Amino acid sequence: MSLRHSKYVQQLVLFGILIVFCAVLSLISKNFLTFENIRNILRQQSMVAIVAVGATFIMLTGGLDISVGSGLAFTGVVFALCCQSGISIFVSLLIAMGAGAGVGAINGALIVGIGINHVIATLGTMYAVRGLAFIMADGKAIVNGLPENFLTLGRGFVMGIPIPVVIMVAIYVVFHFILSRTLFGKYTYAIGGNIETARLSGIPVRKIRYVIYVVAGMLTGLSGVIMASRLNSGNPQIGQGFEFDVIIATFLGGLSTQGGEGSLIGTFIGTMIIGVMSNGLNVLGVDPFYQYIIKGAILVIAVTVDIVMKKRSFSTKKAIKAVS
């Protein structure tokens, strides 16, 4: 089976799992498979899905960013402060996304420029950016002096569809095209497949990786704005554990722990599986603490499956090579 066909089969399996989840939950609860609830799931997961786009590009190149939760809080605070000072919503959005891109640029400089391990680098920025968000917000949520249209991005609708969902779909369409149809996307896969081979082939590895971190930060900024708008506040405490949902969604969507394998379609399906599961567990009244255990188990299982598949693939290639 070719790599392309294998990827399609994997996506079909993931989609099948999503459908089964929805079918089971619709049998358990008559309120699950309603337009209102499905719309609510999509709106709730839109912020995770948007950040997961940037995370997909980073992980395809063999990296990881665990600072996105703090980035979410920081950019939300920046957005609220800008709006509070009388700056228009659109300009405030651009400033917040720029702040997110700045965090991504710092991550890129630490990881790509200096060569610090991606986990250590983003762990450092996770704490630093969270602290900066608390300082800027004076340790509390920014709720006073916000304009009336502050809620539009997070709670507004376009023809009955939540604005965050519209933004999410647009982001996925654009970045799916970039990943699957452009040279930048091919370079991204090549870097994750074998970074040394990519470098020797003339691919500007450092530049591509740096740009990916910056764009991922910008997308985190966009998600932070949507979150702040939805909560009607710039809260430096939000986003704790957010990075965990993003990582679970990407691994569940088929991204390899070693990079070079995965797709945005798989990431989107993985994000929706997590959303449906969380919604279903809430409907069933499962304690949030048990939900943490379930999500942790899912992450371990997803990574274990990836490692086992890699070992089997390597053993098969080795056996074929020995026979030939």
pLDDT digits (tens, 9 = 90+) for 261-284: 889 999 999 999 999 988 888 877
Identity of residue 16:
G
DSSP strands (E only) in the chain: 157-158, 161-162
Report the distance separating Cα 45 and Cα 42, nearest Å.
5
Look at the block and give the residue holding tokens 């300082």: 135
Q: Give the gyration radius of the chain's Cα atoms.
A: 20
| pLDDT reported for residue 324 | 52
Cα separations in angstroms, 206 against 44, 48, 63, 107, 111 = 35, 27, 13, 13, 10
Report the distance separating Cα 144 and Cα 234, nearest Å.
10
Report the distance separating Cα 243 and Cα 259, nearest Å.
18
Q: Of 195, 206, 220, 203, which is closest to residue 108 (Cα–Cα)?
A: 206
| pLDDT reported for residue 188 | 96
Dihedral sign computed on CA atoms, order 9, 12, 18, 21: negative
**C-beta of residue 248 within 8 angstroms of C-beta of residue 300:** no
Residues 6+ apart with CB under 8 A from 41: 272, 275, 276, 279
Look at the block and give the residue holding tokens 């603490």: 289
Residues of the chain with pLDDT under 70: 1-7, 306, 309-324
- Helix or strand or coil: residue 194? coil
Q: Of 192, 204, 324, 312, which is closest to residue 259 (Cα–Cα)?
A: 192
**C-beta of residue 60 within 8 angstroms of C-beta of residue 255:** yes
Burial of 109 (0-12, 13-18, 19+ CB in 10 A): middle
- Helix or strand or coil: residue 63? coil
Name the β-bridge partners of 157: 162
Report the distance separating Cα 72 and Cα 235, nearest Å.
10
Residues 6+ apart with CB under 8 A from 56: 179, 250, 253, 255, 262, 263, 264, 267
Report the distance separating Cα 231 and Cα 154, nearest Å.
8
Task: Give pTM, 2 decimals.
Answer: 0.91
| pLDDT reported for residue 318 | 45
- Half-sphere exposure at residue 203, Cβ-oriented, CA atoms within 13 angstroms: 23
The DSSP element (H or E) to which 35 belongs, if any, is helix 35-60
| CATH number attached to the domain at 35-287 | 1.10.3470
Name the β-bridge partners of 162: 157
Structure-token pair, residue 53: 């786009």
To the nearest 5 percent, what fractions of the chain are helix, strand and coil?
80, 0, 20
